[in-house]
Amino acid sequence: MRLRYVARKVGWSLLTLLFVLSANFFLFRILPGDPLALLARSQRLAPSALAKQRAIFGLDQPLPSQFVTYLHETLTGNLGVSIISGQDVASLVASRIWPTVLLVGIGTGLAAVIGVLVGIRGGWNRGSGFDRGTLYGSLVLYSAPEAWLGMLLLIAFAGTLGWFPAGGYSSGTTTGLGQVADVANHLVLPVVTLALGYVGQFVIVMRSSMLEVKEAPYVEVARAKGLSERAVRRGHVVPNAFLPSFTLIVLSVGFILGGAIVIETVFSWPGLGLLTYQAIQDQDYPVLEAVFLLSSAAVVLANLVADLAYGYLDPRIDEV
């Protein structure tokens, strides 16, 4: 990979982060009224917490130096304090990362593996009953709001059948291995919802790139060499068709937080998504600001990884 390609991608990512930071700065400062007035309304804020928030705003300075102050405070880890609880936003957010990574990691992983396998089979046997069934199924799932799917699963499997708990992270009564099983039990429905909501796009992307690669001249060559259909599929079609799906998987990892918001809300799963929902209800702007920053940074990072990996996997790309 050429250095120039890497430098360009890294530079673009940094520029994007700067854009996100500026958007954050300006969006939350066009709020009607004095931002500190919002804080003052909250009785629970300790003077030290107020001072922390004041440091970010730097309200006594002109706008450009306010921006510099904001950048400095943000980059050194001061994300302000929650308007509601007075807690430090950075540590509040940090404490919620793990449940989200657990939920979205497993859910997206499941969706990707199933989606890619289904897409391979459907694309290879285009027009078959399996292909039609899974393609329509994918489109229906893609058209269904995830939150709604989750609610239906809740009614069926938590309410009527009573197989799984209705929400939360754990029952909190067990320790050790029992606790792991307990958390896993709580994870089932949200993970299934997430996987159902995301599997469609993986099927569609993998299927269509299978269709494209299947017609490539080198596949014909592989057949002409006398390779079996199975060997052609495994050795020539799938590896080449996988590239777009690979990009999609890496990008999905970046959209981890965005995907979690509604599902965590439905299942009261105590991750960043639920934190976001609560911040919306409470109009807790510093928390929203941090969530916006963190989720954008995750996407930018995932994009960078995808670009660099793509450059490595497909060397043609850095020649453009």
Partner 1 sequence: MAFPSPVRSARSMAWRRRRTAFADAWSVFRHNKQALAGAIILLVAVVIALLSPLLVPPDAIDPASATGPTFAPPSLAYPLGTDNFGRSVLALVVVGTRVSLLVGIAATVGAILFGATIGIVAGYYGGGPIDRFLSTLIDWFLVIPWLVLAIVLAAILGPTLLNVIVVIAVTSWAMAARIVRSQALSVREQPYVERARALGASDAAIMVHHILPNVFPVIFAQAVLTVAIAILSETTLSILGLGDPSSISWGHIIEDAFNGGAMVNGYWWWLLPPGICIVLVTLAFTMCGYAFEEILDPRLRGLEKTG
**Contact set with partner 1 (CB under 8 A):** 12, 15-16, 19-20, 23, 27-28, 30-31, 126-127, 139-140, 142-145, 147-148, 151-152, 154-155, 158-160, 166, 211, 254-255, 257-258, 261-262, 265-266, 276-277, 280-281, 283, 285, 288-289, 291-292, 295-296, 299-300, 303
Question: In whole angstroms, how close is the CB of 115 to partner 1 at the nearest point?
Answer: 17
| Residue with Cβ nearer partner 1 (241 or 291) | 291
Strand partners, 88: 81
| Residue with Cβ nearer partner 1 (177 or 320) | 320
CA distance 303 to 320: 18
Question: In whole angstroms, how close is the CB of 125 to partner 1 at the nearest point?
Answer: 9
| Residue with Cβ nearer partner 1 (50 or 144) | 144
User: Which two tokens mark 54?
Assistant: 């004041």
Question: In whole angstroms, how close is the CB of 160 to partner 1 at the nearest point?
Answer: 6
Give the residue carrying structure tokens 């069934």. Answer: 133
Question: In whole angstroms, how close is the CB of 140 to partner 1 at the nearest point?
Answer: 6
| Residue with Cβ nearer partner 1 (37 or 152) | 152
Question: In whole angstroms, how close is the CB of 177 to partner 1 at the nearest point?
Answer: 30
Across 163-186, b (16+ Cβ under 10 Å) vs e yields ebbebebbeeeeeeeeeeebbeeb
| Residue with Cβ nearer partner 1 (113 or 216) | 216
| Residue with Cβ nearer partner 1 (179 or 244) | 244
Question: In whole angstroms, how close is the CB of 42 to partner 1 at the nearest point?
Answer: 17
314 in Cβ contact with 243 (< 8 Å): yes
Question: In whole angstroms, how close is the CB of 288 to partner 1 at the nearest point?
Answer: 6
| Residue with Cβ nearer partner 1 (23 or 51) | 23
